[in-house]
């Protein structure tokens, strides 16, 4: 049964009052991310467990051979499925798409698929006939805010971690056959990931609205209305920006903006919902902050990937099987 997670008035005024005093309930600074933990499965390739604070998301990447679209014979298929089940939170209904779900799935689509994080041309096997169909399934286990951030990190890390079976094409012309080598026979091949998109969500709070809400507390002057003379003064201090909101902060925020960036200083997508108008300079500085967060998170992903590889290659067998030169990533 879907239940609305509307917070109580007392919670509302407490959180907003704390924000006007520059305090967050979990004592983070306003632009600090929660503790991020990325762990890869030790048995399967492409299974990632991401914990962003108490939000938990698992992404699973899988690939199978399929037929490409008729109008794109040189491209493989890449599908991201982000169905949220009631396991994440009681407001989500299995089968019915709520508005939050729609926003999350659209943003992940834009961040990862439309930005071309995965090179679909490298997934082509025989043009027009056979290609790899890569599928990313995201399972939302716990909802404590930042579902799209965690999902984006999970899918990006999963794409980097996944290994598909190696294939050989035998024969010529119409009698071509594709032999798929099991991973016990040949070393599986990584996917061609062009860049690592990381999504960062900024939550906006209007200080004037917050003060008006706090003024509604019993005992205070109930007749106080939001100042109309402040409309002319467009200073930055009227908007509070939080990075990586918890569920409570998400439910109370007046507006949000979701920016996906990567380490190449590129912005892959921006989605600022129409909730609360924000001054344009603030939006630009948020976009810049997103790039710094993307760099930190990508560094962490690479660190965990290296640790996972070290765990798997106990005898250093895979290292000897590689013909690549060493790459130095700064």
Partner 1 sequence: MASRIEIYSPEGLRIDGRRWNEVRHFRCAINTHPVSSDGSSVIEQGNTKVICNVIGPAEPTLRSRVISDRVSISVKLVVAPFSMIERRKRPQNDSRIQEMCSSIQHMFEDAVIAHLFPRSQIDVNLYIVAQDGGVLQACINATTLALIDAGVPMYDYVCACTAGMLDREVLLDLNRIEESAMPFLTMATIGGTRKVSLLQLEMTVQFDRLEPMMAAAMSGCHHIRDLMDSEVRKHGKSRLERGSF
List of residues contacting partner 1 (CB under 8 A): 99, 102-103, 105-106, 110, 114-116, 234, 257, 261, 265-281, 283-284, 287-288, 291
Spatial separation of the C-alpha atoms in residues 114 and 118, rounded to whole Å:
9
DSSP character at residue 254: S
Q: Give the nearer residue to partner 1 in terms of CB position, either 130 or 238.
A: 238
Spatial separation of the C-alpha atoms in residues 61 and 162, rounded to whole Å:
7
Spatial separation of the C-alpha atoms in residues 225 and 57, rounded to whole Å:
42
Cα 28–Cα 106–Cα 136 angle in degrees, nearest 5: 90
Q: Give the nearer residue to partner 1 in terms of CB position, either 189 or 287.
A: 287
Q: Give the nearer residue to partner 1 in terms of CB position, either 21 or 232.
A: 232
Spatial separation of the C-alpha atoms in residues 279 and 37, rounded to whole Å:
33
For 284-305, b/e burial (b = at least 16 CB within 10 A) is eebbebbbebbeebbeebeebb
For 181-208, b/e burial (b = at least 16 CB within 10 A) is eeeeeeeeeebebebbbbbbbbbbbbbe
Spatial separation of the C-alpha atoms in residues 196 and 280, rounded to whole Å:
27
Closest distance of CB 206 from partner 1, Å: 10
Write out the two tokens for 176.
């071509």
- Reference 52, options 238, 221, 186, 247; nearest CA is 247
Closest distance of CB 269 from partner 1, Å: 6
Q: Give the nearer residue to partner 1 in terms of CB position, either 109 or 166.
A: 109
Closest distance of CB 104 from partner 1, Å: 11
Spatial separation of the C-alpha atoms in residues 45 and 53, rounded to whole Å:
24
Closest distance of CB 50 from partner 1, Å: 23
Q: Give the nearer residue to partner 1 in terms of CB position, either 203 or 269.
A: 269
- Which residue do the tokens 């009227």 mark? 238
Closest distance of CB 81 from partner 1, Å: 13
Closest distance of CB 189 from partner 1, Å: 26
Q: Give the nearer residue to partner 1 in terms of CB position, either 114 or 176.
A: 114
Closest distance of CB 105 from partner 1, Å: 7
Q: Give the nearer residue to partner 1 in terms of CB position, either 210 or 291.
A: 291
Q: Give the nearer residue to partner 1 in terms of CB position, either 15 or 283.
A: 283
Closest distance of CB 319 from partner 1, Å: 34
């Amino acid at each position: 049964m879907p239940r609305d997670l509307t917070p109580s008035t007392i919670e509302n005024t407490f959180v907003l009052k704390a924000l006007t005093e520059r305090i967050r309930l979990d004592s983070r600074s306003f632009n600090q991310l929660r503790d991020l933990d990325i762990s890869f499965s030790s048995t399967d390739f492409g299974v990632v467990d991401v914990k962003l604070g108490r939000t938990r998301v698992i992404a699973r990447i899988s690939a199978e051979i399929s037929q490409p679209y008729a109008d794109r014979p040189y491209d493989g298929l890449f599908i991201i499925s982000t169905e949220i089940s009631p396991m994440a939170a009681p407001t989500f209904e299995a089968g019915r798409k709520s508005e939050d779900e729609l926003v999350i799935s659209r943003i992940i689509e834009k961040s990862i698929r439309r930005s071309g994080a995965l090179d679909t041309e490298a997934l082509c096997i025989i043009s027009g006939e056979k290609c790899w169909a890569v599928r990313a399934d995201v399972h939302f286990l716990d909802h404590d805010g930042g579902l799209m951030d965690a999902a984006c990190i999970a899918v990006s890390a999963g794409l980097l971690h996944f290994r598909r079976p190696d294939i050989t094409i035998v024969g010529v012309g119409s009698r071509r056959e594709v032999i798929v080598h099991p991973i016990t026979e040949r070393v599986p091949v990584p996917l061609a990931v062009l860049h690592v998109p990381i999504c960062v969500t900024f939550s906006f709070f209007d200080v004037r609205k917050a003060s008006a809400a706090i003024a509604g507390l019993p005992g205070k002057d109930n007749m106080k209305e939001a100042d109309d003379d402040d409309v002319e003064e467009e200073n930055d201090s009227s908007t509070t920006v939080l990075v990586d909101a918890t569920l409570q902060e998400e439910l109370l925020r007046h507006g949000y903006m979701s920016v996906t960036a990567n380490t190449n200083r590129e912005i892959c997508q921006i989605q600022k919902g129409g909730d609360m108008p924000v001054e344009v300079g603030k939006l630009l500085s948020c976009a810049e902050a997103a790039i710094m967060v993307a760099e930190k998170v990508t560094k962490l992903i690479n660190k965990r990937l290296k640790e996972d590889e070290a765990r798997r290659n106990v005898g250093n067998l895979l290292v000897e099987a590689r013909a690549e030169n060493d790459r130095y990533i700064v």
